[in-house]
Every structure is written in C-alpha cells, then in structure tokens.
Structure 1
Amino acid sequence: MTASTLRPSAGASAQRLRELLGRVPGLLAADVDALVSCWQRPVQLRRGDFLIQAGQTDHYLYFIDEGVLRIFLPTQQEEICVGFGYASTLICSFPSFVEGRPSSYSIQTLKASQLLAITRADLLDLVERHPNIGRFWRTEMERAVVGRIEREIDLLLPEPQRRLDRLRARSPHLFQLVPRKYIASYLRMTPETLSRLR
C-alpha cells in the first residue's frame, strides 16, 4: 500500500504543528501562520503502508503527527535501515526531495501514522519570503547534517557495543518505539547480537 489515503481534515494535526512551531525561538506568529497554512495535505497510513518507495520521486516534506516510520535502502540481500521518523519530527526521502530525482530509499510505517505534507515549491517560497522561516530551515538542515555525521561515525566503529552505546545516548526513545530487528539493521548487526549486548 502507498500513501494514498487522505483524511478529510487536517485540523487537529495542524493545531499540533502550530503548537510546536510556536515554541521555536525566532518564529513570529505571522511566520507560524504562514508555515501552517502551507501544510495542508493530510496523509493517513496503516501499519506497513509505504509513504514512498524506491524509484518514486519525493515532492513532499512531511510532519509526523502520530506514528513511527522507517527509512531503508532495499537491496537484493536485505533492507538496510538508515533512519526513523516519529511524532513531532519531519521526514522525507531527502536526496529525492532536494534534487527532484527518483529515491533510492523507501519509507514505510511501523505503526499507523498521520502526517501533514508541504510541497518543496511551497517550502522554498516560504524560505524566500520569510527571513525567520529561512533561519528556522537552515537550523533544521544543520541539525540534519550533524545527525548524518554522527551516524557515519557509528558505522565506522568496529565494536558493536560502542555503536549501541552511542545510539542509546543520542536517541534512547527509539528503543521504546522501534522493533528490535530494525534497530539491529540500523546498527549494522544481527538481532541476536543486539539482544546479547542489551
């Protein structure tokens, strides 16, 4: 299944997005209003549905209101988990979203999920017209880059225990949200190794 089930109203999700953005330093009420007004495409997915599959082009950035999703690279041998999304975070197939090319990644729900989407064109228009939104977006991108660097460090460490310890320190909540086999894939170890280390 793919992201084709749209809810008739985005009201409750938009209100939660508004509340989160209202706590962002530097965003004025007018900035929040402008942002929220463009997040108007609601998406509701059941467990196991795909938000996007490898080979599709991702034209949307999503705010996760409820749910948990995994980002993975499908190969002939396995599905390599490269990240997760959960409530109050943003998600997309980032290379596809930025460059407008088919995604190498798939994004699939691990539990029923509700999201709101904004198009790339609308987001870039907001960034251009609202300096505070531009600063907010740059901050989000900086955080994403730091996160990717931390992830690369994890993968370079030969000791499974150190990879696990770094993930526990950085994102302890994942262990309550994500099934063990996907955490093991993310850490590039077998589920058995993860069970032994835990």
Structure 2
Amino acid sequence: MDYHDFLNKFHQISKRDYELIADSLTNCHAKRNELIVAEGDITRDLYFVYEGTQISCYNHDGTERVMSFHYPQSLMGLPDSFYNQQPTQYYIRALTDSSYGAISFRRLEELFDESQAIERLFRKMTEAKFCGLVTRHREFHTCTIEERVKNFVARSPHILHMVPHKYIASYLNIDATNFSKIYNSIRI
C-alpha cells in the first residue's frame, strides 16, 4: 500500500525517503480478535495499517477500555512502550482480519540517522498525535457526554461504520446504552 501521500500530509518527504521507509516494512497479518501486541510485551514495532480495523486497549477492573482505533492509512502502535522499549500495560487487538507493515524500533532509529526528513516526519506525526490527545483530554474534563459524542461524530464519522458502537462508547468513556441514545438523537 502506498503511504507516500499520507505521510506527506505531515511533512513532505522525497520519493527516496519514502522508499527507505517502505523497504524497511515487514508484511504482517492478524486474524479477527487476534492480539497484535499483548499486555506486558515490549512494543518492538510500529505498524502501518493496510487492511482491517484494530483497537488499542487496557483492562480496568476486568473491563476492556478503548484508547484508540486503527484502520487503513493510519499508524498503529503503543508509543510509550515503543519509544521507551519497555513492557506495555496496554494491548492491540484486531477487530477484523488485518494486514499491516511493521518497522522495528532499531530500523526506525537508523532511518532517523540516515535522513533528517524522515526524522522530522515522525516528529511532526508525534506532534499531531500529541495535539489530538490534548484535545481529547480537554473534552473529557470540560464537555458533557452529548458534546463528546457530537465532537467525535464531527471529527471521525468514518469510524461509526467501521467498529461496533460499544467500542466507540468505551473510547468516549460513556455507557453503551447512553451512547446509543445520544447517537440516535443527533443528525449526521
């Protein structure tokens, strides 16, 4: 899958730099409900999603809590474990049969040394993710449940048809029944 246009949304890279990244990817597959990264693992790879839908989660008192969604033309990983090369308290699970390209931490560090543009690209992608997390954090602390649902629908309407709504409710930290009532009452 060609990710060049996707990556260029964050920072323009040359075809040569794109090929360095693409040539470093190992093709991987996961079946529906298969763990891609398990709790306690060290996340050794960052993934480029080609097909399927996946979720990053953690367990809280025996309940699965969704932190993020992954789908084609997005990156998938657990940044704290990947960048620190330490065991994770989270996990990634395939919601559907999935295929993705994996790049190892070591190889990505080598690419950063080889190309300033690649290093800048990943810095800008990290900055964009961080800004999104700050927005989400603010919404959790300042918005009503209804406002959280409306903001999510406005920001990510495509996900509404990709994953069961119970996972979106978990992501928004809303009871699934309340999510359904609010979702059914708003116009999309």
- TM-score relative to the length of structure 1: 0.87
Question: Quick check: 1:22–1:29 contact (8 Å CA) kept in 2?
Answer: no
Identity of aligned residues (%): 25
Aligned residue runs from structure 1 range 1-198, under 5 A: 13=1, 16-18=2-4, 20-21=6-7, 26-39=12-25, 41-157=26-142, 159-198=144-183
Deviation >3 Å, runs of 4+: 17-25
- The whole-number CA distance in structure 2 between the counterparts of 1:23 and 1:143 is 11
Q: Give the aligned residue type for 1:183.
A: I
Shift of the 33–80 alpha-carbon distance from structure 1 to 2, 3 Å rule, reads same
Per-residue displacement from partner, 1:164-195 (whole Å, max 9, x unpaired)?
A: 11111221111111111000011111111011
Q: Give the aligned residue type for 1:42.
A: N
Question: Quick check: 2:53–2:95 contact (8 Å CA) kept in 1?
Answer: yes
- TM-score relative to the length of structure 2: 0.91
Per-residue displacement from partner, 1:124-146 (whole Å, max 9, x unpaired)?
A: 11112111112211110111101
- The whole-number CA distance in structure 2 between the counterparts of 1:53 and 1:76 is 17
- The whole-number CA distance in structure 2 between the counterparts of 1:24 and 1:143 is 8
Question: Quick check: 2:27–2:99 contact (8 Å CA) kept in 1?
Answer: yes
Shift of 1:21: 4.6
Residue ranges of structure 1 left out of the alignment (5+ in a row): 1-12
- The whole-number CA distance in structure 1 between the counterparts of 2:11 and 2:78 is 27
Count of aligned positions: 183
- The whole-number CA distance in structure 2 between the counterparts of 1:194 and 1:24 is 32
Shift of 1:68: 0.4
Shift of 1:74: 1.1
Shift of the 56–76 alpha-carbon distance from structure 1 to 2, 3 Å rule, reads same
Residue ranges of structure 2 left out of the alignment (5+ in a row): 184-188
